[in-house]
Structure 1
Amino acid sequence: MKPDALVVGAGVIGLTSAVRLLEHGWRVRLWSADDPRRLTSAVAAALWYPYRIAPAERVHRWARATYERYLHLAGDPSTGVRLASATELWRTTPSELWADPLFADVPRHPAPSRPPYTGALRLRLPVAETPRHLPWLWRRFYALGGRFERRWVAHLEEALAAAELVVLAAGLGAGALVGDATLVPVRGQVVRVANPGLEEVWLDLDPPEPGAVTYVVPRRDDVVLGGTAEEGRADTTADLAQTAAIRARCAALEPRLAAAPMLGVEVGLRPVRPAVRLEAEDHGGTRLVHNYGHGGAGWTVAWGSADEVVALALR
């Protein structure tokens, strides 16, 4: 029997780490200071796309492993994961496509572009529909014997005293626990509207407006419209002007969105640092695995980074 493990943080990074440890035989507790339904992971469009995350070599490995996991999950409708046709638009064609090192064996095709765009790429990307996939993940966690507790960790020593293996996956909260000043919030606001019959994902992640990104991610019951990327801004109050701007940009990509009834506005804070911190260190008899700083790509690398958590725990 493996020793007890404690995961601090219940976003997608912490939850998938907990599930993978449970699958490998650990007894796992999961602590979160906040309601998991209100975390940034629940706000996200959860499109598989490596956005604002480094270092490239490790990210590619984690992202590919996560992609393969989503391909498997997409075969079961109860998981809430599906494959969607996606079109990425560029104003300036990049010299190297982000997909090249990840998808040497996966078809992707140039797509027609229109002004102001100079190029486009079409491929199929996984979408984890969070209203359905997060409950599935929690059911998996509990079915494997995981235990959850709403608990605030004021000092890292509290966690280190509670288990022989501790995984710090608290997103922005990890910064205060370990004194990491390189971890900064990048605010993201999204708008949810009723789905007028859309299936295609649209991406324009380099618009001319500062602090803006544009994406349209249809789901079964709604469409997630994005968004913003404001580094250093940490408030989670909806900005009415941004809501209007997001809707206008997305309607320019897909005109049927202009009249779609609005269902809600959500704000989350991406935990961004120069590079993901995924490493282990020993504190007396406790192994501490840092697993935070995944920026805007937590859903893209979650399963791959969770696999590395297991490897570090076993080392």
Structure 2
Amino acid sequence: MTEKEMKKFPQHKFGQAFTTFKCDCQPYLLWLKKRLKENGGHVHARKIEDMWELHSDYDIIVNCSGLGSRKLMHDREIYPIRGQVLKVHAPWIRHFIRDGDGLTYIYPGIRDVTLGGTRQKDDWNLSPDPNTSKGILSRCCALEPSLRAAQDIKVRVGLRPTRSAVRLQKEVLVRGGAKLPVIHNYGHGGGGFSVHQGTAREATQLIKECVAELEMSRHKPKL
């Protein structure tokens, strides 16, 4: 950042400015769901306790259950990082501002501005904390004083499904004489929207490998 730009942040010694893009999650997910349906996909809401509940309906399972894999796959490596943010109406905010450690940020979106945030490891609490909200607003106002005039403040809490590394692999579950191919694709933490297209392509390649193996087994001559 230039010396003139840095004058807006007297508490900092240096900064970087760059152009990027932001994904508004809710409309993007709705768009993905629409694309799925347009291409012949179906959406069913259903709770399962075991992958084998799906065996009679599907040949291959793609497991994107996030924190659910802690119970579903007995994966103790996955844990939540709790995030609390504020959504405010401040249409004059046009630029992203992110503090050095990444815990304080101001992200303008289509309908509102996101103020953050927190990274609380192994915290499963989905209830908003008023003191945390006050702290977020105070830190963001220190970076952008005009936010004191922000209106319609809403609190949002979410759990980021975090792992030491994204689990992106093929696993064949075996029960009795039956086999169930499962493609795991979960544990993206807070960076899911940054890497989801790449990991989806990797998962698709693993699905193709499973399909090829199933086709070979079906056409294999019986001795």
* Same fold per superposition (TM over 0.5): yes
Alignment partner for residue 105 of structure 2, among 198, 215, 236? 215
SS of residue matched to 1:187: strand
How much has 1:175 moved relative to structure 2?
1.3
2:17 maps to what in 1? 122
Question: Is 2:121 the counterpart of 1:231?
Answer: yes
1:66 maps to what in 2? none
Residue 196 of structure 2 aligns to which amino acid in structure 1? A
How much has 1:176 moved relative to structure 2?
0.8
Question: Is 2:45 the counterpart of 1:150?
Answer: yes
2:73 maps to what in 1? 178
1:301 maps to what in 2? 195
Deviation per CA, 1:112-162: give whole Å up to 9, x if none: 543432322222222111242222122111111111111111112213443
Deviation per CA, 1:279-313: give whole Å up to 9, x if none: 01223543211111101101111111100010111
Alignment partner for residue 194 of structure 1, among 77, 89, 96? 89
Residue 201 of structure 2 aligns to which amino acid in structure 1? D
Distance 2:87 2:39 in 1: 33
Alignment partner for residue 282 of structure 1, among 172, 175, 196? 172
Residue 147 of structure 1 aligns to which amino acid in structure 2? H
Distance 1:110 1:176 in 2: 50
1:188–1:229 CA contact under 8 A, matched in 2: yes
Deviation per CA, 1:38-76: give whole Å up to 9, x if none: xxxxxxxxxxxxxxxxxxxxxxxxxxxxxxxxxxxxxxx
Q: Which runs of 5+ in 1 are unaligned?
A: 1-108, 208-212
Fraction of identical pairs, as percent: 34
Deviation per CA, 1:201-225: give whole Å up to 9, x if none: 1112517xxxxx1111101221011
SS of residue matched to 2:207: helix
Distance 2:65 2:86 in 1: 25
Distance 2:125 2:141 in 1: 26
How much has 1:233 moved relative to structure 2?
0.7
RMSD over equivalenced CA pairs, Å: 1.8
Distance of aligned partners of 1:161 and 1:202 in 2 relative to their CA distance in 1, 3 Å threshold: farther
Q: Which has the higher strand share?
A: 1
Worse-superposed segment, 184-193 or 282-291: 282-291
Distance 2:100 2:182 in 1: 35
How many residue pairs align between the two structures?
202
Residue 217 of structure 1 aligns to which amino acid in structure 2? Y
1:312 maps to what in 2? 206
Distance 1:116 1:303 in 2: 37
SS of residue matched to 2:77: coil
Distance 1:273 1:160 in 2: 27
Distance 1:205 1:139 in 2: 37
How much has 1:196 moved relative to structure 2?
3.2
Distance 1:123 1:303 in 2: 22
Distance of aligned partners of 1:205 and 1:172 in 2 relative to their CA distance in 1, 3 Å threshold: farther
Counterparts of 1:1-150 in structure 2 under 5 Å? 112-113=5-6, 114-150=9-45
Deviation per CA, 1:8-62: give whole Å up to 9, x if none: xxxxxxxxxxxxxxxxxxxxxxxxxxxxxxxxxxxxxxxxxxxxxxxxxxxxxxx
Distance 1:257 1:147 in 2: 43
Which is greater in Rg?
A: 2
Distance 2:49 2:137 in 1: 39
Q: TM-score, normalised by structure 2?
A: 0.84
Q: Which runs of 5+ in 2 are unaligned?
A: 210-223
Distance 1:121 1:165 in 2: 46
SS of residue matched to 1:277: strand
Distance of aligned partners of 1:160 and 1:123 in 2 relative to their CA distance in 1, 3 Å threshold: farther
